[in-house]
Structure 1
Amino acid sequence: MSYKLMPVLLAAALLASPAVAQDAKQKVKVKRKAKTEAAAAPEAAPAPAAPAPMPADHARTYAEGITQADLRKHLTVLASDEYEGRETGEKGQKMAADYIANRFKELGLVGPVQGSDNPYLQHFTMERSTWAGTGTLKVGGQSFQWMKDFYAAGNSPFDQATTLQPVFVGYGIEQEGYNDYAGLDVKGKDVVVLLGEPMKDGKPTLSKDEKPTKWGNDYRAKSALATQKGARSVFFVAASKDDFDKALTRLTPYLGRPSISFMDKKESRAATLFVSPAVGLKLLGTTEAALGKYRTAAAAGKPTSAFKPASVVVTAPKKREQFTTENVLGFLEGSDKKDEILVVSAHYDHIGIISGEVHNGADDDGSGTVSVLEMAEAFTQAKAAGHGPRRSMLFLTVTGEEKGLLGSEYYTDHPVFPLERTIADLNIDMVGRTDKEHEGKPDYVYVIGSDKLSSELYNIVENANKQYGPIDLDYRFNDPQDPNRFYYRSDHYNFAKHKIPVAFFFNGVHADYHGAKDEVDKIEFPKMEKRARLVFYSAWELANRDNRIVVDSNKP
């Protein structure tokens, strides 16, 4: 990384005008004692005040060390085929961990992990599971086929044949003015839920602006609600056979891949199964016409159901094995406020090799990872020159994000530094590309979560951008009703759930998201540099301000 010092400029135009010297030609009145006494010399005028130099802008000085060239240099390594897509627990992820740890060591950061064979690595044990491919589903004596009529995702409590008596909960939605769970106790039970949301004339009825809500776009919102209600599993019924077949075709390469969970943590999420409309009708013991009437009633806000789901026998076994993975940590001690910790995070894992193709994840999240490396160098340069930071910095690159934010969850459950001393997390996940919404438009970045726990953090990011940018700060995904739910989909969320203020910097998704063409040659390094510098400026203020930022809000 090239380290560029910016010359300090003098701002003469801002200086007060110096006192005007007395005109040398002006007569000076003097007292005379005698004709022979020489005239006294005139009193000397005060010398002009020397112009005061402007204070050095250290933030700008060190931010300019974050360069396109160095971002490219690191990303070209980490997002190369040699690293095999950096899948959690696999060879490429281990190689990436070593690369990052070695870079932290070169910079002079401290490895803060006690009891580890490498103090830069926080190891932990996980369980890897894959579907055995022998799942069965029987309803009323009729058998349905795995990966044709139904499939599952995530965990499974059905390694052995299990008889269920499901409960129908409509669309599985609960919000103001609409509640599919009203009067139902589903604790420990298995629920049947319709995918999608109530519609009338092709438009959603649960939103004021007729735009799709989170319930219609993201089954995970419904799964999370079912889990909150205590359900053991959720059977999602597709709206049409075409929808079911398209989803199955799209997901087949992923369903054959391992899922990962913690060894020492009981799975808390409800199991998730997806069934075709034909299986759904059989489950509910009804007809397509009757289900259509139910959908119409739900769209009118009056969902009523006489459906009595049939008894089900389900088997969905998984094969399991243990493995070890690791977060990578680099620590920079602060000065007078060193007991307070600012975290800068990114995930360095990606999704590996799928169907023989390496998915290098240059944007997701190679871009965030190398931004963290560059910020770490900028702050170490500043400290070496005696310019801070006042608070300590933890540069945290985590594993397992693509498997469910697992690395950041492990860190926040097993923090190296107490969470009560952690002032904020600035999370960088995908900052190297442009989404469809901003094609051909000026520089931008999505900022998510900065106002949810701290009004001061929101203002700090805004002010940093105004002073050193500006680029367009887009807050559309910060809306709690946004169906993409990005606030819950990256590593900052595991800090936020512990009431630690967060800001998530993101360029949005694009056609190559989780695809084999997310490569270095598509990264827009000028934009990436600006975004990384914005995070640096925000971090600089957080690390050096007099007061710790307040936690004064709790927005969804």
Structure 2
Amino acid sequence: MLKMYALAALLLASALPAAAQTAPTKIKVKTKGAPATPAAPDISQTYAALIQPADLRTHLTVVASDAFQGREAGQPGQKLAADYLQKQFAELGLQGPVAGSDNPYLQHFQLTHSLYAPGGYLKVGAQRYEYLSDWFSYGPMPSPFLTETTSQPVFAGFGVEQGAYSDYAGLDVNGKDVVVIMGEPQDERGRKLLKPLGRKDDYWDSGLRKAALAKAHGARSIFLMTFAPSLTFQKQTSELGESLREAAFSLPDPGPEIIDTVAENIPPGIGVYFTSQELGLAMAGTSINGLLDYVRALGRAGRPVPAGFQPPVATIYLPQNQQPLTTENVLGFLEGSDKKDEVLVVSAHYDHLGVKHDTVYNGADDDGSGTVAVMALAKAFAQAKKDGHGPRRSILFVLMTAEEEGLFGSEYYTAHPVFPLANTIADLNIDMVGRTDRKHSAKRHFVCIVGSDKLSSELHAINEAANRDYTHLELDYHFNIPGEPEHIYYRSDHYNFARRKIPVIFYTTGEHVDYHKVTDDVEKIEFDKLAERAQLVFHTAWALANREQRIVVDSNKP
């Protein structure tokens, strides 16, 4: 599962009162009509029973072994894993659907790997501000300032846009460097001018949303001005340590872009940086009193007002060592019968964190568990077809790469689909389903369901019916609540399908004490529970693939 960059410096990002978190509540989902059930439930049960703990253990022992070196995208271990997985698909009789590839089971694509290099700085006039002291990037990302670059600065207020309120109205920021204030605009009584979006009272407190909006307007970079004085900012930067020097990955050819200001991940193609209060004021071309005068005037007017200051030209330099690397998604295709042009995607990611300090991070749960679950589903559906009970719709099993680096495998697939997205009915994504998280006791048989109701009420009903009729697991929806603080909905490969309006279900059991640690090993996997959860996905997939009508898209929840 993709790591979330929860930077401590953000606690000092706004001078405005922090919005209270929405308390989790139980979700009530309205559905349209009676839930569809499998046309032949006895057949569904027969083939779901082929998903057994022993088979899952056999494959995971290989996938999460030291021989595969942590399966880091673009590295030799990931290539070994891809070769193993594509051979398993071929042995099951699945087709390799990737046209033009040297191997039809592999969808190759390139990433750019960017490594930190010392010496970055930003100069405003005669004053020089050092990188990782007075400014830093929001998570690993490629630098747009590989050589000393003259900035094209634009001050854009709070950098927000909602309804009639737009800090970008009348501004040309295309290819330029935007400077904005963290937080949200308020009136003179300290009340936010913008209404909460859904349950998200703190929607525009997110630097990532401001970055996505700036990217949508064509900006080259965005500098997010915090209200942390330099000494405080530098202390927090020091505490973040090596996390600010991690390698960055990017897609040089991401394909057709989807404008998305809801995302919780770093938007590609734009530099996103936090600054200390001193540097932010210098870049805006004002003092703290001048900035407060602007904020008060905006609050009195209830709308954006012209700033009484002009940001000066700056010089920006952020070196990196950038190298191209190739990685690949692994695809296996099972053709349907009378509705074969419609495609159900079943996905997981098979990459993990690789080798760090000569230690292999095996990623047995993240996401070896999802990987072997997809393989088990593929085996069950392939056997059903061999026995004359093949699905009506086609099923595409996709094992994604580079999820840990930024959901890049699914981003590439959805931008370069093997089958038209218009014909893709849903994505069932499995990521970390082999353990018990910190919120549940070991005795509970559960799975967390995320996103099932956000685009299709029918999809949610079908999954609930499959569980009621077959697996009888506790379905936990706490990650599905709007405003959920861990942002799980945005942190795995299903999200790139959802942002393209394809209904999704994300199956997970959440983070545990070994998440992204060297101790995430095979011996800690609960294979009986992993099999149960995979069987639920199978029954839901069976219903989706065999029902008469394609599921509706009738919701649009954030």
Q: TM-score, normalised by structure 2?
A: 0.79
Measure the CA separation in 2 of the matches of 1:530 and 1:296: 58
User: Does 2:106 align with 1:104?
Assistant: no
User: Does 2:195 align with 1:193?
Assistant: no
Q: Which residue of 2 aligns with 1:66?
A: 51
1:294-443 matched pairs, under 5 angstroms: 306=308, 308-438=310-440, 442-443=444-445
Q: CA deviation at 1:137?
A: 0.9
Q: TM-score, normalised by structure 1?
A: 0.79
Measure the CA separation in 2 of the matches of 1:283 and 1:88: 37
Q: CA distance change for structure 1 residues 505 and 209 in 2, over 3 Å: closer, same or farther? A: closer
Q: Which residue of 1 aligns with 2:9?
A: none
Structure 2 residue corresponding to 1:473, chosen from 447, 472, 475? 475
Structure 1 residue corresponding to 2:252, chosen from 251, 262, 265? 262
Which structure has the greater CA radius of gyration?
Answer: 1
Q: 8 Å contact 1:362–1:519 — kept in the other structure?
A: yes
- CA RMSD in angstroms comes to 3.4
Query: Which moves more between the two structures, 280-289 or 321-330?
Result: 280-289
SS at the partner of 1:57? helix
Give the letter aligned to residue 236 of structure 1. Answer: L
Q: Which residue of 2 aligns with 1:277?
A: 277
Higher relative contact order, structure no. (Cα contacts within 8 Å, ≥ 6 residues apart)? 2
Measure the CA separation in 2 of the matches of 1:156 and 1:501: 34
Measure the CA separation in 1 of the matches of 2:79 and 2:522: 20
1:212-243 Cα shifts (integer Å, max 9, x gaps): 63443x43222112112322211123443546
Structure 2 residue corresponding to 1:158, chosen from 141, 145, 149? 145
SS at the partner of 2:399? strand
1:71-108 Cα shifts (integer Å, max 9, x gaps): 23322322233322211100111111011112112222
Query: Which moves more between the two structures, 261-270 or 104-113?
Result: 261-270
Q: CA deviation at 1:247?
A: 5.1
Measure the CA separation in 1 of the matches of 2:476 and 2:396: 27
SS at the partner of 2:336? coil
Q: Which residue of 2 aligns with 1:225?
A: 213
User: Does 2:539 align with 1:537?
Assistant: yes
Q: CA deviation at 1:307?
A: 5.2
Q: 8 Å contact 2:438–2:512 — kept in the other structure?
A: yes
User: Does 2:541 align with 1:551?
Assistant: no
Measure the CA separation in 1 of the matches of 2:458 and 2:199: 34
Give the letter aligned to residue 406 of structure 2. Answer: G
1:227-285 Cα shifts (integer Å, max 9, x gaps): 12322211123443546644554362463424232358699632112323332243334
Give the letter aligned to residue 271 of structure 1. Answer: G
Query: Which moves more between the two structures, 218-227 or 172-181?
Result: 172-181
Q: Which residue of 2 aligns with 1:33?
A: none
Q: CA distance change for structure 1 residues 64 and 242 in 2, over 3 Å: closer, same or farther? A: farther
Measure the CA separation in 2 of the matches of 1:343 and 1:225: 30
Q: Which residue of 2 aligns with 1:18?
A: none
Aligned-pair identity in percent equals 54
Q: 8 Å contact 1:109–1:332 — kept in the other structure?
A: yes
Give the letter aligned to residue 218 of structure 2. Answer: G
Give the letter aligned to residue 519 of structure 1. Answer: D
SS at the partner of 1:401? coil
Measure the CA separation in 2 of the matches of 1:435 and 1:178: 42
For structure 2, the 5+ residue unaligned runs are 1-39, 258-267
Q: Which residue of 2 aligns with 1:213?
A: 202
Query: Which moves more between the two structures, 189-198 or 373-382?
Result: 189-198
Query: Which moves more between the two structures, 188-197 or 115-124?
Result: 188-197
Q: 8 Å contact 1:75–1:520 — kept in the other structure?
A: yes
1:444-455 matched pairs, under 5 angstroms: 444-455=446-457
Q: Which residue of 2 aligns with 1:42?
A: none
Q: CA distance change for structure 1 residues 131 and 109 in 2, over 3 Å: closer, same or farther? A: same
Measure the CA separation in 1 of the matches of 2:98 and 2:463: 30
1:456-509 Cα shifts (integer Å, max 9, x gaps): 212111211221233333334434544544433322233234333222222233
Q: 8 Å contact 2:133–2:237 — kept in the other structure?
A: no
Q: CA distance change for structure 1 residues 342 and 196 in 2, over 3 Å: closer, same or farther? A: same
Q: CA distance change for structure 1 residues 67 and 215 in 2, over 3 Å: closer, same or farther? A: farther
Query: Which moves more between the two structures, 134-143 or 308-317?
Result: 308-317
Q: 8 Å contact 1:160–1:317 — kept in the other structure?
A: yes
Measure the CA separation in 2 of the matches of 1:167 and 1:441: 56
